[in-house]
Structure formats: C-alpha cells, structure tokens
C-alpha cells in the first residue's frame, strides 16, 4: 500500500499534532506501507491559500499515485481548493487527520469566523477523518454533519517509556515545596500567563516551577512572559528550560508533583497522559478533550478556561494537603493504565486505512477507483 501525507514543514516538530503524525508514519512503515511526505510551506494566510495552486505538489501526488492521501487538517487553508482539483482527475481517497478544529483555538471573533468558513470548506472536500478524540469528532460533526468514514484513535501514552514505583511517589510527595511543571510551547492558547499570575499570589517559599517548551513560536508572547516573571520577582522560583529531548524531559518530569497546562482550548493533550505515567496529577481547563483524560478531583483538577482564582485555589490545596496530592498521584498512575499505547492506536488507524484501500468502491465515492499499481 502507498500512502501520501501532506503536512507543513518538518514532521520532526515537537507539537502534539506532529508527534501524532510521526508516530503514524513510523507505524505504517513498520507494516510495509510506502509512505511519502509532501511538505507545504506555512507563510501567512495568503501564502497558505496560494499553496492550493502549487503545480509542484499536485504533480508529485499524481506521480506517486497513492492508494490513500492523508492530510494534516492544520493545512486546511492550503488544501481546500487543491483537493477539488485532485478529485477532478483522480479517485484517490483523501483522509484528514484532525487534531483539533483550528477555529476553536482562536480568540478573536472575526478571525475565528473567517477560519471556520474556510475550515468548513476544507472538511467537506475530504472523504474521511482520523480523529484524535471524541471531542474533536463532535466539533467536526457539529460543523459539517456526521460522516460515516471516520475513526477515533487517541494519541498514545508511552512515548516516554516511564517506569515509576508507588514508593517513589510516596517519598517525593513529602517534599516541602510543590514542584510544578508546565509542558507546552509558549503560545497564548497554552495559558502559561494564567499560571504565572496564579503563582504570583502564592508564597514563593511554597512552590517551584519548571517551564518546558519551545520559546520561538511567538516571540512577543515569550517576551511578555519573561517580563511578567521579572515584574512579579519570581525569577528564583522558575526554571525556563526550552524544548527538551525525550531523555531530558523524562529527567525533568519524574521529580515533579503536578503538571499544570491551563490551555484555553485543548483537543486532547498528549502531555497529560504522559505525566500520569509518572504518577503526576494534572490541573487543566475543562475544554475540548481534556475531560476524556482528567477526572476532576480524582487524578487532577479541571478549571474554567482563564480562571486564575480557581487555579490558585487548587494549587494551594495541593500545597496544604499532601495526603490529597499522594492520593491523586496514585489515581493518575492507575488512570494511565487505561490509556492506549501508540501501537494500539496506530494499529487502529492502519486497519481503518487498509479497509479503505480494499473497498471497491467506497461508499463516500461516486465511482470506483482506477486501477493502481501495487
């Protein structure tokens, strides 16, 4: 089987969506699937729209002649016209990998409205979907209606290959300071500024924060974060580590007490399940697919998006009640067992794609596929 995949830039980027795409490519190739990655350049709104008219990628797709063409939904503005052109001369099934509805992560009304319009056109231009959560599936269904050709395959839990003993959790919960970790690229949507504000209202002797994530995605936002840390005189309590490779991320994660990533929107959140593998409870926003991972007051706390008072109060609760912290840590480790591995999830996607390839014709296509070489 030959499968094409369209993404922006390099598949080695360290965001959740790219990790998912990379794991899928790795699994498919291990099954003997020939996978070719087609990279588009992300260069502002009109630059992305212009990608639709690229004869180069159009020609490369035709020459490769994939049995299935996968597309990262992030590329929606670069594909909503290109897909129509492809469908005029081929019967290649186009399947979108949907990590989140991009419009859901935007704050400005007009930008949100405009994005939703184009995103809707794109989603109607494909034949099926791979969703990373039930929440993502629901968002798409609400926008364009139910589509039969889809699969929900959660991100895997085991990228870090952690092996944590309950005795270690009990021991570290006795530490005086609450060890907090934030994992996420420094972007407004991830809500690091909310965490900084909440910590600014808590005695600095009671906590320590490690910030892990890329600093270059939004330089203005990063500068605002650095300035706010300075203004609140929190520099001695905060380590800014930037992006870490897997081994260094494991080392930084293991001694922590709680992961806090109060995103305004999160379709799933790979870091939440990974943290629970280290017996680390999570404080996150009640939005998107997060409630599919975090059971409020069991393996973490859910706050209303943007609510710094609620966030501060939950942090204080864990500082003041170490028995609660320990109980939540054990619950996190227990919950981790129920999340799928990457192999389990990607096997589900592979089976979905295999059935599409073997279906002659697909219900979603009006005509049979033309003969394709093996």
The domain segmentation of the chain, as residue ranges, is: 2-156+341-358, 166-336
- Closest by CA to 239, choosing from 227, 226, 257, 220, is 226
The domains spanning 2-156+341-358 and 166-336 adopt the same CATH topology: yes
Q: Which residues contact 361 (CB under 8 A, 6 or more apart)?
A: 367, 368, 369
**What average pLDDT score do residues 20-43 get?**
96
Judged against a pLDDT cut of 70, whether residue 371 lies above it is answered with no
Judged against a pLDDT cut of 70, whether residue 80 lies above it is answered with yes
Judged against a pLDDT cut of 60, whether residue 373 lies above it is answered with no
Cα–Cα distance list, 195 to 13, 34, 213 (Å): 25, 44, 15
The pTM of the whole model exceeds 0.95? no
Judged against a pLDDT cut of 70, whether residue 366 lies above it is answered with no
**What average pLDDT score do residues 342-367 get?**
82
**What average pLDDT score do residues 245-272 get?**
94
HSE value, Cβ hemisphere, 13 Å, CA-based, for 319: 17
Judged by phi (left if over 0) then psi (alpha if -120 to 50, else beta), residue 126 lies in: beta
Mean pLDDT of the chain: 91
* pLDDT on residue 168: 78
- Closest by CA to 115, choosing from 123, 307, 287, is 123
Cα–Cα distance list, 265 to 113, 169, 217 (Å): 16, 30, 17
- The residues with which 211 forms a beta bridge, in sequence order, are 182, 240
Cα(71)–Cα(6) distance, rounded to whole angstroms?
Answer: 5
Grade residue 101 by pLDDT with cuts at 50, 70 and 90: confident
Judged against a pLDDT cut of 90, whether residue 181 lies above it is answered with yes
Count of CB atoms within 10 A of residue 38's CB? 20
Cα(63)–Cα(338) distance, rounded to whole angstroms?
Answer: 43
Share of the chain above pLDDT 90, in %: 77
Cα(141)–Cα(289) distance, rounded to whole angstroms?
Answer: 15
DSSP state of 295: -
Helix (H, G, I), strand (E, B) or coil at 312: helix
HSE value, Cβ hemisphere, 13 Å, CA-based, for 149: 22
Question: 2-156+341-358 architecture in CATH?
Answer: 3-Layer(aba) Sandwich (3.40)
Judged against a pLDDT cut of 50, whether residue 323 lies above it is answered with yes
DSSP state of 216: S
- Asked if omega into 358 is within 30° of 0 (cis), the reply is no
Question: What kind of fold does domain 166-336 have according to CATH?
Answer: Rossmann fold (3.40.50)
HSE value, Cβ hemisphere, 13 Å, CA-based, for 273: 24
Grade residue 21 by pLDDT with cuts at 50, 70 and 90: very high
Cα(306)–Cα(310) distance, rounded to whole angstroms?
Answer: 9
Rounded-to-5 percentages of helix, strand, coil across the chain:
50, 15, 35
Contact of 282 with 275, CB cutoff 8 Å:
yes
Cα(151)–Cα(248) distance, rounded to whole angstroms?
Answer: 33
Cα(52)–Cα(295) distance, rounded to whole angstroms?
Answer: 42
Helix (H, G, I), strand (E, B) or coil at 8: strand
Contact of 255 with 280, CB cutoff 8 Å:
no
Cα(79)–Cα(70) distance, rounded to whole angstroms?
Answer: 12
Judged by phi (left if over 0) then psi (alpha if -120 to 50, else beta), residue 167 lies in: alpha
121 φ/ψ angles, rounded to the nearest 5 degrees: -60, -45
Torsion of CA 234, 239, 243, 244, to 10 degrees: -160
């Amino acid at each position: 089987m030959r499968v094409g995949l369209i993404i922006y830039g390099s598949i080695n980027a360290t965001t959740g969506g790219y990790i998912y795409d990379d794991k899928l490519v790795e699994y498919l190739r291990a099954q003997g699937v020939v996978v070719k990655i087609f990279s588009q350049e992300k260069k502002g709104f009109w630059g992305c729209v212009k990608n639709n008219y690229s004869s180069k990628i159009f020609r490369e797709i035709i020459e490769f002649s994939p049995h299935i063409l996968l597309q990262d939904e992030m590329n929606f503005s670069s594909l909503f016209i290109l897909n129509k052109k492809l469908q005029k001369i081929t019967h290649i099934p186009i399947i979108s990998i949907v990590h989140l509805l991009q419009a859901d992560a935007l704050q400005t009304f007009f930008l949100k409205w405009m994005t939703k319009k184009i995103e809707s056109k794109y989603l109607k231009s494909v034949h099926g979907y791979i969703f990373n959560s039930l929440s993502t599936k629901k968002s798409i269904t609400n926008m364009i209606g139910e589509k039969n050709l889809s699969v929900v395959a959660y991100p895997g839990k085991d990228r870090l290959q952690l092996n944590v003993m309950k005795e270690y959790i009990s021991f570290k919960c006795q530490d005086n300071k609450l060890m907090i970790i934030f994992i996420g690229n420094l972007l407004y949507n991830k809500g690091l500024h909310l965490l900084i504000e909440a910590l600014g209202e808590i005695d600095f002797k009671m906590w320590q924060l490690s910030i892990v994530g890329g600093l270059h995605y939004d330089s203005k936002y990063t500068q605002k974060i650095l300035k706010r840390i300075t203004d609140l005189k929190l520099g001695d309590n905060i380590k800014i580590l930037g992006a870490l490779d897997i081994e260094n991320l494991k080392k930084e994660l293991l001694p922590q007490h709680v992961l806090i990533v109060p995103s305004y929107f999160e379709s799933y959140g790979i870091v939440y399940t990974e943290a629970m593998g280290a017996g680390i409870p999570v404080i996150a926003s009640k939005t998107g697919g997060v409630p599919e991972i975090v059971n409020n007051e069991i393996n973490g706390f859910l706050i209303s998006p943007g609510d710094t008072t609620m966030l501060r109060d939950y942090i204080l609760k864990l500082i003041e009640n170490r028995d609660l912290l320990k109980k939540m840590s054990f619950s996190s480790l227990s919950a981790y067992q129920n999340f799928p591995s990457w192999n389990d999830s990607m096997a589900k996607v592979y089976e979905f794609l295999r059935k599409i390839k073997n279906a002659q014709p697909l219900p979603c296509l009006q005509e049979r596929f033309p003969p394709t070489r093996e």
